[in-house]
Amino acid sequence: MIRDLTYRYNLKLCILLETHVSGTKVEGIIRKLGFDSWCISDAEGFSGGIWCLWNGKDCQVEPVNIQRQFIHLKIKDNNNQSWHCTCIYGSPQPGPRSTLWRELESIAATNQGPWCLGGDFNSIISLKETGGNHNLSQDSNRFQKCMLNCGLNDLGFSGPPFTWQRNQIKHRLDRFLCNLEFNVLFPSVGVKHLPKLKSDHLPILLEFDTLVENRRERPFKLLAPWLLHEGYNNLVRSNWCKQGDLINNIHHFTEKAKEWNKEVFGHIFRKKKRILLRLEGINQNLSFNNNPFLEKLQRDLWKEYEMIVVQEESYWIQMAKCKTINLGDKNSKYFHQKANGRRRRNHVNALKNSDDEWIDNVEELKELGVSFFKSLYAPNNYNLFLPDFPVTDKFPRLTEAELNHLSRNITHEEVKHAVFNMGSWKAPRSDGLPAKFFQHSWDIVSDSVVNWVHMIFRNPENIAGANQTLISIIPKVPPPENFAQFRPISLCNVCYKIVTKVIAERIKPHLGYIVSNTQASFIPGRISADNILVAQEVIHTMRMRASGKGLMAIKIDLEKAYDRLNWNFIIDTLKDIGIPENIVNVIHFCISSPTMSLLWNGSPSETFNPTRDIRQGDPLSPYLFVLCIERLSQLINSLIEQKKWKPIKLTRNGPHLSHLCFADDLVLFAEASKEQV
């Protein structure tokens, strides 16, 4: 089995723990496994044992320290990259493990450069790594303290959540840790829990290229360093027609930007390396004699190097999507780690299929994801027909002045306000242009943007040309086991979001009047904490109630509420409110004309057309959702009027209370009786 794993995953270094073998038998077993070099910490009787196996042609390995619970190695690969690796087998007894923590801290104090640790630590660092324990032992606290003192981070994993199981007891005892330098040297490193073999431990695999994607499949993306280049403004100005169609302008600019990136801007990391090598050569020449030409060249190269450092910093800040930029943090290594950590958390290497089997093949995973989201957004035989809602005309009526304000012509100021109130470097869309592109070059692009928005409000069906959506999936739990444990975020094009943001800004001031006080989310002037306080008071009263009628509270979470919302119901709700027809028509085409594509580990999948849902990531979606949920509140109030729902009262003369809304979470209150249930 070990030979099969070595062949399948092309292992360069194999670590075997609890070998239970020592003496003359060792060499024969290792050679049968296909390795020509090794370093071992012998088992004592049938206890312990660490084997580190490798082939000399793959890497150079130098044993530095061999102890009962670890082997510390210095490794140099065929790319001349060096780092330290510590192979761990923690004692099953807490006492000897304390010695291990102290020895690791001693290594950290003297270690220079990248360092990785992996193996069976026989300890956990959080309750999530147990199958049901309710507290952490002192040894776990010492392990956490050791990691902190050594500057180590857990590399995480994909696959089954536990690495050891005996009967019904499960733990994650095996892991890989690394320091910041290792993370910077190997940004694409990742850990995979492999299927269980005969042992009660799962094999774990450290891969160095888990985040490497097919660059040809990745969509275009505007890079932050481009904006710092002296030729960028000219690139936009020469490839953007001010009075031209916005969509055509975007397509033309992105094609030219790709060429400019290759021919003019170049690869900043390679340029940085090249400049450092040239500076090193110049310094060697100047150390022997003075040369005015080389001295001038040295000054010019230093200026170019300083600019590249700034560009590199802006690149990593963009990749990290970190708000620390607002505080002026200038630490590229920090942002490098943040970017790699975010990519590693969101990168998926293995998931369960519908038969509860783990899948790790890239193409199979992508097909599984597309199938899941197709069934969610575009289920077979989905009926768009909507029966009449039993409650209508319950919304407060807007005045004629308010309706005229909603339906008035779009102004240049509204469009500009929408553009400049978007997050500058939000995740890239299918066209690759973030809001920062429009904000930075507003004097050049404003005319075509405003003209296009005017055209959409005259002919809303044309919004389909800008309604391509990438679905980015964010894990809800670490690590996810299936696609239901992801939160889908829709990456809509900025030009599309300008339209919906203009509408949202018009509707938002009226929500406090239209939506009842039971809803606390997304309403200006209200906060969820208000409803939380009310709910706490209700629960407190229910607990303290000594006599009288019983009360009950039911918490409801509407699963995938955004994703299952019927488009016709949304339009019916807007008409019931009395929203002007021109605004309703634009909203109708906005929500019903998208094409979707799953962004799987950086690469888009095939496209499909949804038949329901409002997208998380669309500025208008939260407001449409609370308006639709308000109709549920109206239905509850109607049942109260019909005496079919008996709300509760906290005091004799207090108001009736039937429900509270927290966006898609509801708490229902009623008298505790069989009839009410």
Q: Report the residue count for the chain.
A: 677
Distance of CA 135 to the CA centre of its chain: 29
Whether 86 and 73 have beta carbons less than 8 Å apart is answered as: yes
For residue 280, count other CB atoms closer than 10 A to its CB.
Answer: 9
51-62 tens-digit pLDDT: 999 988 888 999
pLDDT for residue 11: 87
352-369 tens-digit pLDDT: 888 888 887 878 888 898
Cα–Cα distance, 663 to 55 (Å, whole number)? 58
Does the structure show a pLDDT above 80 at 385? no
Cα–Cα distance, 457 to 261 (Å, whole number)? 35
Q: Where are the alpha helices (DSSP H) in 72-216?
A: 94-110, 138-150, 180-185
pLDDT over 70 percentage in the chain: 91
pLDDT band at 177 (very low <50, low <70, confident <90, very high): very high
Structure tokens at 393: 């005309």
Mean pLDDT of all residues in 178-189: 86
User: E strand or H helix at 670, and its extent?
Assistant: strand 665-671
Q: Where are the alpha helices (DSSP H) in 22-137?
A: 25-33, 94-110
Which residues, in sequence order, are CB contacts of 398 under 8 Å at separation 6+?
Answer: 406, 510, 513, 514, 577, 578
Residue whose entry in the numeric block shows the structure tokens 């939380």:
532
Does the structure show a pLDDT above 50 at 329? no
Measured in degrees and rounded to the nearest 5, phi and psi for residue 162 equal -115, 145
Structure tokens at 663: 């966006």
Three-state DSSP class for residue 615: coil
Measured in degrees and rounded to the nearest 5, phi and psi for residue 465 equal -65, -20
pLDDT for residue 291: 86
CA atoms within 13 A on the CB side of 295: 7
- Provide the whole-model pTM: 0.76
Mean pLDDT of all residues in 309-322: 78
Does the structure show a pLDDT above 50 at 606? yes
Peptide bond into 479 cis (omega under 30): yes
pLDDT for residue 164: 92
Distance of CA 318 to the CA centre of its chain: 14
Q: Which of 21-35, 56-70, 272-286, 335-349 has the lowest mean pLDDT?
A: 335-349
Most confidently modeled of 148-152, 182-186, 323-327?
Answer: 148-152
Cα–Cα distance, 194 to 201 (Å, whole number)? 10
237-264 tens-digit pLDDT: 999 999 999 999 999 999 999 999 999 9
Residue whose entry in the numeric block shows the structure tokens 């308000």:
630
Q: Which value, in Å, is the radius of gyration of the alpha carbons in the chain?
A: 31
Whether 71 and 50 have beta carbons less than 8 Å apart is answered as: yes
Three-state DSSP class for residue 79: coil
426-458 tens-digit pLDDT: 866 788 899 999 999 999 999 999 999 999 999
Which residues, in sequence order, are CB contacts of 590 under 8 Å at separation 6+?
Answer: 460, 463, 467, 496, 499, 500, 618, 620
